[in-house]
Amino acid sequence: MPELNPIEQHDHASADMPLDHRELVTFRIGEQDFSMDIMLVREIRGWSEATVLPYAPRYVLGVINLRGAVVPIIDLAARLGLPPTEPGPRHVIIIVVDGTRLTGFLVSAVSDILSVGAGEVQSVPTLNDMNASFLSGVITSKSRLLRI
Protein backbone atom coordinates (compact mmCIF):
# COMPACT_ATOMS: atom_id res chain seq x y z
CA MET A 1 0.00 0.00 0.00
CA PRO A 2 1.40 3.47 -0.78
CA GLU A 3 2.52 5.83 1.94
CA LEU A 4 -0.19 8.15 3.22
CA ASN A 5 1.63 11.14 4.67
CA PRO A 6 5.32 11.37 5.37
CA ILE A 7 5.78 13.75 8.27
CA GLU A 8 8.45 16.32 7.65
CA GLN A 9 10.70 16.55 10.65
CA HIS A 10 11.43 20.11 11.45
CA ASP A 11 13.09 22.22 14.09
CA HIS A 12 10.93 22.90 17.14
CA ALA A 13 12.82 26.13 17.69
CA SER A 14 11.60 27.66 14.43
CA ALA A 15 10.65 31.32 14.35
CA ASP A 16 6.92 30.55 14.49
CA MET A 17 7.08 28.22 17.52
CA PRO A 18 7.94 29.40 21.05
CA LEU A 19 10.84 27.55 22.67
CA ASP A 20 8.63 26.11 25.45
CA HIS A 21 6.25 24.46 22.96
CA ARG A 22 6.42 21.08 21.30
CA GLU A 23 4.38 19.42 18.61
CA LEU A 24 2.55 16.16 19.18
CA VAL A 25 1.01 13.73 16.72
CA THR A 26 -2.31 12.56 18.14
CA PHE A 27 -3.73 9.13 17.33
CA ARG A 28 -6.40 6.67 18.42
CA ILE A 29 -6.11 3.13 19.59
CA GLY A 30 -9.65 1.77 19.61
CA GLU A 31 -11.57 4.42 21.54
CA GLN A 32 -8.51 5.74 23.41
CA ASP A 33 -6.58 8.94 22.56
CA PHE A 34 -2.78 9.10 22.68
CA SER A 35 -0.01 11.32 21.37
CA MET A 36 3.75 11.31 20.79
CA ASP A 37 6.36 13.91 20.00
CA ILE A 38 6.41 14.61 16.28
CA MET A 39 10.22 14.44 16.29
CA LEU A 40 9.94 10.67 16.89
CA VAL A 41 7.75 10.13 13.81
CA ARG A 42 9.48 9.31 10.54
CA GLU A 43 6.34 8.64 8.52
CA ILE A 44 2.74 7.51 8.64
CA ARG A 45 1.62 4.79 6.26
CA GLY A 46 -1.36 2.56 5.60
CA TRP A 47 -1.55 -0.96 6.96
CA SER A 48 0.35 -3.60 5.04
CA GLU A 49 0.56 -7.27 5.96
CA ALA A 50 3.50 -8.11 8.21
CA THR A 51 5.64 -11.25 8.01
CA VAL A 52 5.10 -13.16 11.25
CA LEU A 53 8.11 -13.98 13.42
CA PRO A 54 8.08 -17.26 15.36
CA TYR A 55 8.15 -16.97 19.17
CA ALA A 56 7.67 -13.20 19.08
CA PRO A 57 5.70 -11.61 21.93
CA ARG A 58 1.95 -11.47 21.25
CA TYR A 59 2.05 -7.70 20.62
CA VAL A 60 4.62 -8.07 17.79
CA LEU A 61 2.65 -8.55 14.58
CA GLY A 62 5.76 -9.28 12.53
CA VAL A 63 8.08 -7.28 10.29
CA ILE A 64 7.73 -5.30 7.07
CA ASN A 65 10.28 -4.23 4.47
CA LEU A 66 10.44 -0.44 4.47
CA ARG A 67 12.64 0.59 1.53
CA GLY A 68 15.22 -2.07 2.40
CA ALA A 69 14.97 -1.81 6.20
CA VAL A 70 13.31 -4.61 8.17
CA VAL A 71 10.93 -2.90 10.62
CA PRO A 72 9.09 -4.66 13.47
CA ILE A 73 5.39 -3.83 13.72
CA ILE A 74 3.95 -3.54 17.23
CA ASP A 75 0.24 -3.70 18.01
CA LEU A 76 0.32 -0.68 20.31
CA ALA A 77 -3.05 -1.58 21.84
CA ALA A 78 -1.83 -5.03 22.89
CA ARG A 79 1.49 -3.60 24.10
CA LEU A 80 -0.34 -1.12 26.34
CA GLY A 81 -2.60 -3.80 27.84
CA LEU A 82 -5.68 -2.90 25.78
CA PRO A 83 -7.62 -5.41 23.67
CA PRO A 84 -5.52 -6.40 20.60
CA THR A 85 -6.23 -4.76 17.25
CA GLU A 86 -7.41 -6.79 14.28
CA PRO A 87 -5.51 -4.94 11.54
CA GLY A 88 -7.34 -3.95 8.40
CA PRO A 89 -7.13 -1.51 5.50
CA ARG A 90 -8.38 1.41 7.63
CA HIS A 91 -5.59 1.05 10.20
CA VAL A 92 -2.36 3.04 10.14
CA ILE A 93 1.28 2.33 10.97
CA ILE A 94 3.28 5.11 12.58
CA ILE A 95 6.98 4.58 11.81
CA VAL A 96 8.99 5.83 14.79
CA VAL A 97 12.73 6.50 14.99
CA ASP A 98 14.43 5.78 18.31
CA GLY A 99 18.12 6.51 17.84
CA THR A 100 19.03 4.34 14.85
CA ARG A 101 16.18 1.86 15.36
CA LEU A 102 12.91 1.99 13.38
CA THR A 103 9.70 0.57 14.82
CA GLY A 104 6.17 0.60 13.42
CA PHE A 105 3.18 1.07 15.72
CA LEU A 106 -0.22 -0.15 14.53
CA VAL A 107 -2.93 2.36 15.53
CA SER A 108 -6.56 2.88 14.58
CA ALA A 109 -6.09 6.37 13.11
CA VAL A 110 -3.91 9.46 13.23
CA SER A 111 -6.00 12.44 14.28
CA ASP A 112 -4.09 15.70 14.40
CA ILE A 113 -0.87 17.55 15.11
CA LEU A 114 -1.00 19.75 18.21
CA SER A 115 1.34 22.41 19.52
CA VAL A 116 1.43 22.32 23.33
CA GLY A 117 3.24 24.43 25.86
CA ALA A 118 5.25 22.94 28.70
CA GLY A 119 2.68 24.27 31.19
CA GLU A 120 -0.12 22.30 29.49
CA VAL A 121 1.49 18.92 30.20
CA GLN A 122 0.47 17.39 33.50
CA SER A 123 2.30 14.55 35.19
CA VAL A 124 0.85 11.05 35.22
CA PRO A 125 0.13 9.48 38.61
CA THR A 126 2.55 6.60 39.09
CA LEU A 127 0.49 3.47 39.57
CA ASN A 128 3.23 0.97 38.74
CA ASP A 129 6.53 0.72 36.89
CA MET A 130 4.82 -0.06 33.56
CA ASN A 131 2.67 3.06 33.80
CA ALA A 132 5.75 5.23 34.33
CA SER A 133 7.69 3.64 31.45
CA PHE A 134 4.96 4.14 28.82
CA LEU A 135 3.49 7.54 29.70
CA SER A 136 5.35 10.82 30.15
CA GLY A 137 2.38 13.12 30.70
CA VAL A 138 -1.23 14.01 30.01
CA ILE A 139 -2.73 17.05 28.31
CA THR A 140 -6.32 18.24 28.02
CA SER A 141 -7.34 19.06 24.47
CA LYS A 142 -10.89 19.91 23.44
CA SER A 143 -12.39 18.31 26.56
CA ARG A 144 -10.48 15.04 26.13
CA LEU A 145 -7.39 13.70 27.86
CA LEU A 146 -4.45 12.84 25.63
CA ARG A 147 -1.75 10.57 26.98
CA ILE A 148 1.78 11.36 25.84
Boundaries of domain holding 71: 3-147
Query: What's the mean pLDDT in 66-84?
Result: 93
Give which of 146, 49, 54, 44 is closest to 105, Cα–Cα.
Answer: 44
The amino acid sitting at 95 is: I
pLDDT score for 99? 87
Cα(74)–Cα(131) distance, rounded to whole angstroms? 18
φ, ψ for residue 56 (rounded to 5)? -75, 155
Q: Does pLDDT of 5 surpass 70? A: no
- Spatial neighbors of 47 by CB under 8 A, at least 6 apart, are 1, 87, 88, 89, 90, 91, 92, 93, 106
pLDDT band at residue 1 under the 50/70/90 scheme: very low
pLDDT score for 148? 67
pLDDT score for 140? 74
Whether the pTM exceeds 0.95: the reply is: no
pLDDT score for 84? 94
Residues composing the chain: 148
CB atoms within 10 A of CB 61: 24
CATH code of 114's domain: 2.40.50.180
Cα(39)–Cα(14) distance, rounded to whole angstroms? 13
Q: Does pLDDT of 108 surpass 70? A: yes
pLDDT in tens, 77-97: 999 889 999 999 999 999 999
**Mean pLDDT, the chain, whole residue set:** 80
State how many domains the chain has: 1
